[in-house]
Amino acid sequence: MEARYNFLNIPIMAKYYVLKGLSIELGPQIGFLLSAEQENEVQNIDVKDRLKSIDFEVNFGIAYKFSNGLSFGLRYNAGLTNINDVTGFLDENRYGVVQLSIGYFLRK
């Protein structure tokens, strides 16, 4: 069985430069559940009513910005909220996300 949860996440991040170009990031994030489906052999089932509509997470990461404007980042989002809203459905339902970012700054 496969499940798909779609959240709108809003991070509030602090960035601290430890060396020129190298930074660490830390901050909270709130997520709003947009949709949730579980797929079985026959059909997709809407399970949004079985989950909490708001999720809280903590984010931390590392990034590097080169002098030419190119940047790379790696971030981990750790879910703090048990998003299960039905007793006996799943005891604990938390998630974590690994993000890799590549960017380019137009101003140096």
- Residue 13: CB atoms within 10 A of its CB come to 13
pLDDT of residue 18: 96
- Is pLDDT of 107 > 80? no
- Is pLDDT of 87 > 80? no
Which contacts qualify for 43-49: CB closer than 8 Å, 24 or more apart? 47/3, 49/85
Average pLDDT, the chain: 89
- Is pLDDT of 108 > 70? no
Instruction: Give, as one character, the DSSP assignment of residue 67.
Output: T
- Is pLDDT of 89 > 70? no
Question: pLDDT for 6-23, tens place per residue?
Answer: 999 999 999 999 999 999
- Is pLDDT of 55 > 80? yes
